[in-house]
Chains A and B, each alone.
Chain A
Amino acid sequence: MIAAYPITPQTPLTEKLSEFVEGGELNAEYVAVESEHSALTVCTSASMAGARTFTASSAHGLAYMHEMLHWAAGARLPVVLACVNRAIGAPWNILNDQQDSISQRDTGWIQIYARNNQEILDSVLQAYKIAETVYVPVMVCYDGYVLSHAEMPVAVPSQEDVDKFLPSYQPHTILDPANPKNYNLVTLADPRVNTEGVLCHGYMELRYLLQEALQNSGEVIIRVGQEFAELFGRSYANMFWEDRLADADIVIVAMGSLAMEATVAADMLRVKGHKAGVLGMRVFRPFPKADLLKALKKSRLIVVFDKNISYGSEGATCSEIKSALYGSGVNAVIRNFIVGLGGRDVKAREMADAVTKSLPLLKEGFLNSEYPEWICYI
């Protein structure tokens, strides 16, 4: 079941899917709704009726879904959504940054970010398996225009292999007129007995279980990534991408396509004799603190590039890294650069320059700055 609102912000993605459905290549129901809020509502409802569901949106469309994003996660429905990352107004801008999905960070969804077009396809397949195992909805995020409108070679797996990896959906919730039930009714703070005399969770216990599901989902995400590697030969056995971290004392952190550009920046720094590596965030929620800590053990300087910002604070990835390192004994200098908002081009040489500019801090022992720096014309 696919539901989508076919207007800007939207991408060729849903257009293509409607062609697949219309042409009979994809056995699905395609519902063209009147808003993104309704798109996700149709998905959650269809999911409760036992269907495998998909929708896609960006920017303002995703913001408009906000209420239902919370609902899908709270109702523990394995909905999969592609978020094509775009900036949010005002002022109007249709181009890429990650403010839209980062603004939905706390809705209880698993968030996976793709670096390139192959990873988009691979991540969507994995997303269903993850969502249907842990009963948490999954958002597959990828950079608008930079990836969504770019062409690059993608290996398309055979239907047979995909069916092996992801068999038909076995729903855990079926809303059936023959056996009427009520789900997600008003649930007050404390546990209460239901009409059948059974003591049921209060709101807080249900929310605890959502947090527990996300905390435990890391293992599933890694296991699914390993299974994917066995079948398709492309490994997703980690929650982040590591590039030359084994000997790196300078680590660049970036998420999405920027994590690819960052490897070119690391090349430039290596040529100059710096031991630079890249940590590319793949899974942002749940945030892989423990694994990340191991990967950053040798780091002395961590430069985090964020295509988003929590206004009045700093970039979201940077906050997570700082939080992960607290009390770990890794006392690396951490610098945060806000880049690429509203589609501003981010070049490898600019990232390398930002790292070079941060090097003197190593001698000064200045670990933490209150606010990020911006790579912009002000």
Chain B
Amino acid sequence: MNARLHEIRWHGRGGQGAITAAKIVAQAAYLKGYRGITAAPSFGAERRGAPVSASTRISPQTVMVISQVEKPDTVVVLDHTLLKYQEVTSGLDRGGWLVVNSQQHPKELNITGDFNIANADATRVCRELGLIIAGLPVVNTAILGALVHATNVVDMASIEAVIRERFSDSMIDINLAAIMKTFEITKLKKIR
């Protein structure tokens, strides 16, 4: 268990489920034993397709910071086209993790920054498994596999427990399969 506050910032597009992902990880961290947890959308007028963000804070002690995350330990990006916006990696420091849903190899992402990169094509995983709702691949759960692969802040067992609790019976197996598959195909590029 991490002894200090770990801050995750989520970037996606409205409808991709960034806020749900933030809440799943928060709940998983609680199950793992952390007692200081918050999950919150960052409050814009959110609409389908527009850039949205959310945050998850995880700490052994009660979280007293309530403002928006400024210096994330981890940034998760559900749509790699958002990487062109500067605010996506803003505040991500050395040793931090950028987790990206993209078909490209981390080296081809063309991101410069003093942080580690974890990359997986969660969109393809969802298409292959048929995890598609209203015509869109549901990448928000799949990408959790890449997050678990890259960081130790939550583990697969607690993520699985949350999926089993939150999702209806017919959606549990397919979501877990997407998370596992994404976990397996995640590529890491660590800073030296």
How distant is B34 from chain A, measured CB to nearest CB, in Å? 9
Contact B39 A263 (CB under 8 A): no
Q: Determine if B43 and A257 form an interchain contact, defined as CB atoms under 8 angstroms apart.
A: no
Decide if A153 touches B66 in the complex (CB within 8 Å).
no
Shortest Cβ distance from B190 into chain A, in angstroms? 30
Q: Which residues of B contact A149 (CB under 8 A)?
A: 40-41, 43
Report the Cα distance A264→B39, complex, angstroms.
Answer: 18
Chain B positions 61-113 with a Cβ under 8 Å from a chain A Cβ: 63-68, 70
Contacts of A346 in B (CB 8 A): 67
Nearest CB in chain A: distance from B42 CB, A: 9
Given A95-B43, A145-B43, also A152-B68 (CB < 8 A): no
Q: Let me know if B43 and A343 touch, CB within 8 A.
A: yes
* Residue pair A152, B41 in contact (C-beta under 8 Å): no
Contact A263 B41 (CB under 8 A): no
User: Is there an interface contact between A153 and B37, defined as CB atoms closer than 8 Å?
Assistant: yes
Check A82 for interface membership: any CB of B closer than 8 A. no
In B14-29, which residues have CB < 8 Å from any A CB? 23, 26-27
CB distance from B26 to the nearest CB of A (A): 6
Whether A345 pairs with B35 at a CB distance below 8 angstroms is no
Contacts known (A94-B45, A145-B43, A343-B43); A151 close to B67, Cβ less than 8 A: no
Which residues on B sit within 8 Å (CB–CB) of A264? 64-65
- Contact pattern, A 342-378, Cβ under 8 Å of B = 1, otherwise 0: 0101111000000000000000000000000000000
- Known A94-B45, A95-B43, A347-B70; contact A263-B37, beta-carbon cutoff 8 A: no
How far is it, in angstroms, between the C-alpha of A343 and the C-alpha of B43 when the chains are bound? 8
B:147-166 near A, CB below 8 Å = none
Q: Find A150's partner among B27, B35, B38 (CB 8 Å cutoff).
A: B38
The answer to whether B41 touches A348 (Cβ under 8 A) is no
CB <8 Å contact, B35 and A261: no
Complex formed: what's the CA distance from A71 to B45 in Å?
A: 35
Q: Which of B38, B45, B70 contacts A152 (CB 8 A)?
A: B38
Distance in Å: Cβ of B180 to nearest Cβ of chain A: 25
Count residues on chain B whose CB falls below 8 Å from chain A CBs: 19
Given known A257-B66, A261-B64, A347-B67, contact A151–B43 (CB-CB < 8 A): no
Contact A150 B65 (CB under 8 A): no
User: With an 8 A cutoff between CB atoms, is A68 at the interface?
Assistant: no
Bound-complex Cα distance A260 to B38 (A) = 13
Minimum C-beta distance from B10 to chain A (A):
13
Q: Chain B residues near A151 (CB, 8 Å)?
A: 23, 26-27, 37-40
Residues of the A chain whose Cβ atoms lie less than 8 Å from the Cβ of B68: 345, 347
In the complex, whether A112 has a CB less than 8 A from a CB of chain B is no
Chain B neighbourhood of A146, CB < 8 A: 40, 66
Give bound CA distance, A340 to B26, whole Å: 26
Complex formed: what's the CA distance from A263 to B70 in Å? Answer: 17
Asked whether, in the complex, the Cβ of B70 is within 8 Å of the Cβ of A150, the reply is no
Cα A96 to Cα B41 in complex, Å, equals 13
- Rounded to whole Å, the gap between the CB of A154 and the closest CB of chain B is 11
Whether B30 sits at the interface, judged by CB under 8 Å, is yes
A145 neighbours in B (Cβ, 8 Å): 40-41, 43
Minimum distance in angstroms from A280 CB to a CB of chain B: 11
Q: Which residues of B contact A96 (CB under 8 A)?
A: 43
**A260: which B residues are within 8 A, CB to CB?**
64-66
Q: Select which of A94, A95, A263 is within 8 A of B64 by beta carbon.
A: A263
Decide: B39 and A261 in contact? CB cutoff 8 A.
no
- Knowing A150-B38, A153-B30, A153-B37, say if A348 contacts B67 (CB, 8 Å): yes
Contacts of B27 in A (CB 8 A): 151
| Bound complex: CA A152 to CA B67 (Å) | 14
A146 to B70, CA, bound (A): 16
Query: Which residue of chain B has its CB nearest to the CB of A347?
Result: B67
Mask, A330-349, CB within 8 Å of B = 1, is: 00000000000001011110
Which of chain A's residues have a CB closer than 8 A to the CB of B43? Answer: 95-96, 145, 149, 343
Cα A257 to Cα B64 in complex, Å, equals 9
Chain B's nearest CB lies how many Å from the CB of A375? Answer: 12
Contact: A150 with B39, CB < 8 Å? yes
Chain B nearest CB from A117 CB (Å) reads 9
Interface centre among B27, B43, B68 (most CB of A within 10 A): B43
30 contacts between A and B (CB under 8 A): A94-B45, A96-B43, A145-B40, A145-B41, A145-B43, A146-B40, A149-B41, A150-B39, A150-B40, A151-B37, A151-B38, A151-B39, A152-B63, A153-B30, A153-B35, A257-B66, A258-B66, A260-B66, A261-B64, A261-B65, A261-B67, A263-B64, A264-B64, A264-B65, A343-B43, A345-B68, A347-B68, A347-B70, A348-B65, A348-B67
Given A147-B66, A151-B26, list of 9 further CB < 8 A pairs? Answer: A94-B45, A95-B43, A145-B40, A150-B38, A151-B37, A151-B38, A151-B40, A257-B66, A345-B68
List residues of B whose CB falls within 8 A of some A CB.
Answer: 23, 26-27, 30, 35, 37-41, 43, 45, 63-68, 70
- Chain A contact residues, CB within 8 Å of chain B: 94-96, 145-147, 149-153, 257-258, 260-261, 263-264, 343, 345-348
Q: What are the 7 closest A-B residue pairs judged by CB atoms, nearest first? A: A150-B40, A151-B39, A347-B67, A145-B43, A257-B66, A260-B64, A152-B38
